[in-house]
Each structure stands twice: as C-alpha cells, then as structure tokens.
C-alpha cells in the first residue's frame, strides 16, 4: 500500500459520521417536556433509550441523584447522570472532558431550556451544574 493509499483511507475514515451516543432516559410516561427533551437529544445525535417509571423518586434514589438538583427526568450516559433539561452541548462537553463527577444537572424546569421552550415566552437564563462525587455542585455552563 502506498503512502497516498494510506492517506486516502485515513481521510475517508475521518469523513464517516460519528456513531450515535446511547443515553438512557428515565422519565414518567405522562411527561410532555421530558419527551421534548428526548427530541432535543435525538436532533443532537444521541440515541435515547427510554426507561418509563411511575415512581421517579425511587428511580432518582437508585441513580444517586442529590435532592437539591432534582428535576423531572434523569438520564444516564457512560456512567454519568444527567438530571433535567441539560443542553446536549453540555453533555457532549462532559463526555469529552470526563471529569470525576456524578454528572450534570439543570435543577427545576427553566423556561427556554431544551424541552421547556414556550412560544411567546422569553427564555429564562439558567445554569448547568456539575455535580461532584460528593454531591456538591459548581457551575458548568451558563445559558
């Protein structure tokens, strides 16, 4: 194989689309904003795997989500928790940086966060929090 063949093969491989990233989303089957967030993930190239739960409090306890950062749904991706309406771009950054942490959270349900868009209503400013292994939080992103 010549150098030009190796170079052509390398260029062809880098042009392939990135594999979709599986993310397991625990949600209530009746939650509309959760489904809207799932759509946001799909549009960002994730492959959501839905885990319906009629007892989200029990699901959150099992996943070790700290009470102070709870929102309506909880996802798990590569061992990290993702609580609430976290933007897909923050999840991608988390997976690239791989900090020693439980994961990310957008507590509550801020209007304008992914899945919480309301036509005719101005979006709220919100923060994505990095949740440390000790449950403490720090600001990871401002939106």
Residue extents of the structural domains in the chain: 20-142
pTM for the whole thing? 0.85
Kindly give the confidence (pLDDT) of every residue in the chain, 143 residues in length, as a single tens digit, with 9 standing for 90 and above.
Answer: 554 443 344 444 444 445 679 999 999 999 999 999 999 999 999 999 999 999 999 999 999 999 999 999 999 999 999 999 999 999 999 999 999 999 999 999 999 999 999 999 999 999 999 999 999 999 999 99
Tokens of 12: 């062809």
CATH homologous superfamily for 20-142? Answer: Glutaredoxin (3.40.30.10)
- In eight-state DSSP terms, residue 69 is G
The whole-angstrom distance between residue 120's C-alpha and the CA centroid of its chain comes to 26
For the four alpha carbons of 22, 26, 31 and 33, in that order, the dihedral sign comes to negative
For residue 76, the cross-strand partners are 24, 81
């Amino acid at each position: 194989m010549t150098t030009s063949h190796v170079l052509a093969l390398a260029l062809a491989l880098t042009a392939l689309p990135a594999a979709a990233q599986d993310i397991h989303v625990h949600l209530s089957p009746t939650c509309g904003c959760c489904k809207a967030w799932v759509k946001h993930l799909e549009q960002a190239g994730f492959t959501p795997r839905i885990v319906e739960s009629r007892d989200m409090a029990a699901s959150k306890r099992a996943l070790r989500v700290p009470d102070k950062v709870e929102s309506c749904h909880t996802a798990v991706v590569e061992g990290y928790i993702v609580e609430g309406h976290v933007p897909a771009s923050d999840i991608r950054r988390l997976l690239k940086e791989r900090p020693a942490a439980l994961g990310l959270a957008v507590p509550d349900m801020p209007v304008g966060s992914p899945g919480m868009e309301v036509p005719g209503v101005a979006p709220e400013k919100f923060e994505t929090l990095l949740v440390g292994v000790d449950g403490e939080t720090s600001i990871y992103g401002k939106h």
